[in-house]
Amino acid sequence: MADLKKLSVVIPAYNSEKYLEKCVKSIAEQTYQNIEIVIVNNGSTDSTPQICEELKNKYNNREFKIINLNPNQGINWARRAGVENADGEYIAFIDSDDYLEPETYETSIKILENNNCDLAQFGIKLVNLDGELVGEWTRQDMTFNNSKDIYKYFLTDKTPTWDMWDKVYKRNLFENLEWPKISALEDYCMSAQIFAKADKLITINKNFYNWLQRPDSTGQSNKLSKLDDVLAASELVINLTLEKFPEMLPDALAREIGGLSNFLLDFWPQVSQVIRKNYINMLNEFKARGIKIKASTAENQKLLLHAHYLTTHPVLYKAYLTTRLAINKLTGI
């Protein structure tokens, strides 16, 4: 154990009394021996604080820290507090309702070190409350040897790349990052900064992370109230792309359009009727604004549909028009 570098696993926990024990158990029983468990109790109003203390006593074979934030500071600042209080040379994250396969960190760190990488990313299993598999996000065994290729992968890979919890990181990647106080797209804007900074990434063809799919998840509720957070995260990523990799701006803008429209789809499914009703009006409006659209192509039909969703909210409509004009200027599409 003395030869193993310490890994700090950060768990943001908010009202997690039903799930936290299974999560912590999956970390405590990891085959990797030098682990520090850092739970950030983020203003919980249930029995989460008491459970944290019970788990600290139960798993006293592991280093254990409990950080209490009051009131709730949002998941991104909870993660920041965890990193600031962690002692490990490696950092990992897990959400308090998820759990890991026992060999996750031993395998990932061995691969990371053998290949001299800054971070390693593994695959994800989507599971229901009964532990049954309902989907998978499988990675291929790939290595990216420079920050430009890493950032391109972040923006363009078909499988989502930006979740914070499917990776092991070298601690130095978290130096001088901007931590916006948001609770929507927080993974996206933080991963963008990390991917832009890393020199070498390896992806692993093992689905180690069990992501619990539950209807009452905080990520699935009250999304409209998080609209400003979504826009703030999107702006951060666009500005980062312009600063570091301006040639990838079309990729970043295309990713932004998809993310914004999907955000609206989650809580405004009835807008589909508005789309059908206003389709011709929108085409005329684009024409009046001088936005050139080749409506015969499938991709631009998709972008037009996104635009209809965005018109239901003035701020998002403005964001969409700005983004669409930028894509047109850069690509002619």
- φ, ψ (nearest 5 deg) of residue 68: -110, 125
Candidates 257, 264, 223; CA nearest to 237 is: 257
Comma-separated ranges of CATH 3.90.550.10 domains in the chain: 7-216
* pLDDT value of residue 239: 86
What's the pTM value of the predicted model, to 2 decimals? 0.80
Is the domain spanning 7-216 CATH 3.90.1110.10? The answer is no
Between 231 and 32, name the one with better pLDDT.
Answer: 32
pLDDT tens-place string over residues 166-184: 999 999 999 999 999 988 8
Q: How far apart are CA 17 and CA 25, in angstroms?
A: 14
Using CA atoms, how far residue 290 sits from 266, 280, 324, 328, 329, in Å, is 30, 16, 11, 10, 11
pLDDT in tens, 190-241: 999 999 999 999 999 999 999 999 876 655 444 556 767 877 888 888 889 9
Tokens of 147: 């920050």
Query: Mean pLDDT, the chain, as a whole number?
Result: 83
Before 71, cis peptide (omega within 30)?
yes
pLDDT digits (tens, 9 = 90+) for 242-300: 899 988 887 887 777 666 655 555 544 444 444 444 445 555 655 666 655 444 444 44
